[in-house]
């Protein structure tokens, strides 16, 4: 028997307003968060990518709610293969890392940081779409302030791949390369 959340995800279309509606439902009913996160990383679930869309919006509002789920989240982000799931999760990674280092709202362990770093590099060097790459670049830049080896590696990748990518990628690459140098 499908749960209420599964039914909502089944009927969800990609329209921003419908995604926001379900996200607000989660924000008003936090008891659905565990199920949402589980669906996000159950790659065999046809609604996995839709759950990721919702998690992105929930994270924008209540990032702190992810704290108890960090072990599960970080262990599973690398398993995602669907582009529609990777983009929102890449954005959530950026939010988590930025929060960890700037306002300390989220506490990430060294293992969490390493898993996010590894996954962001995978998304950056593999054939993922540009938005996921851009979130990964920004996340890696922040992580490079903690891990001193990241900025030199990131610089090499950005310089090597610069000419082969879109204007959006090039804009983010220029911004980050300027900060690194």
pLDDT band at 5 (very low <50, low <70, confident <90, very high): confident
Q: Is the pLDDT of residue 13 over 90?
A: no
Count of helices and strands (H, E) across the chain:
10, 0
pLDDT in tens, 128-161: 999 999 999 999 999 999 999 999 999 999 999 9
pLDDT of residue 12: 81
Return mean pLDDT, the chain. Answer: 95
pLDDT in tens, 25-77: 999 999 999 999 999 999 999 999 999 999 999 999 999 999 999 999 999 99
Closest by Cα among 40, 125, 122, 19 to 85 = 40
Closest by Cα among 76, 75, 29 to 54 = 29
Q: Would you say the pTM of this structure is higher than 0.85?
A: yes
Who has greater pLDDT, 4 or 174? 174
pLDDT of residue 8: 83
Domain boundary assignment for the chain: 4-180
pLDDT of residue 2: 74
Give the range among 12-16, 39-43, 55-59, 92-96 with minimum mean pLDDT: 12-16
How far, CA to CA in Å, does 17 sit from each of 14, 63, 83, 169? 9, 20, 21, 27
Closest by Cα among 26, 52, 24, 28 to 40 = 52
CATH 1.10.287 fits 4-180, yes or no: no
**How big is the CA angle at 115 (ends 119 and 19), to the nearest 5 degrees?**
60
């Amino acid at each position: 028997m499908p749960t209420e959340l599964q039914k909502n995800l089944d009927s969800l279309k990609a329209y921003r307003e419908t995604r926001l509606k379900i996200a607000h439902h989660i924000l008003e009913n936090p008891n659905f968060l565990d199920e949402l996160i589980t669906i996000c990383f159950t790659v065999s679930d046809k609604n996995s990518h839709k759950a990721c869309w919702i998690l992105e919006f929930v994270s924008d509002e209540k990032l702190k709610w992810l704290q108890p789920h960090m072990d599960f989240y970080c262990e599973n982000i690398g398993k995602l293969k669907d582009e529609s799931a990777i983009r929102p999760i890449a954005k959530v990674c950026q939010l988590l890392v930025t929060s960890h280092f700037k306002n300390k709202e989220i506490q990430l362990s060294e293992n969490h940081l390493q898993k996010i770093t590894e996954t962001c590099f995978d998304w950056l060097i593999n054939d993922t779409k540009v938005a996921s790459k851009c979130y990964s670049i920004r996340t890696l830049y922040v992580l490079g302030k903690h891990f001193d080896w990241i900025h030199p590696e990131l610089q090499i990748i950005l310089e090597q791949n610069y000419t082969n990518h879109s204007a959006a990628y090039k804009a983010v690459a220029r911004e980050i390369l300027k900060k690194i140098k």
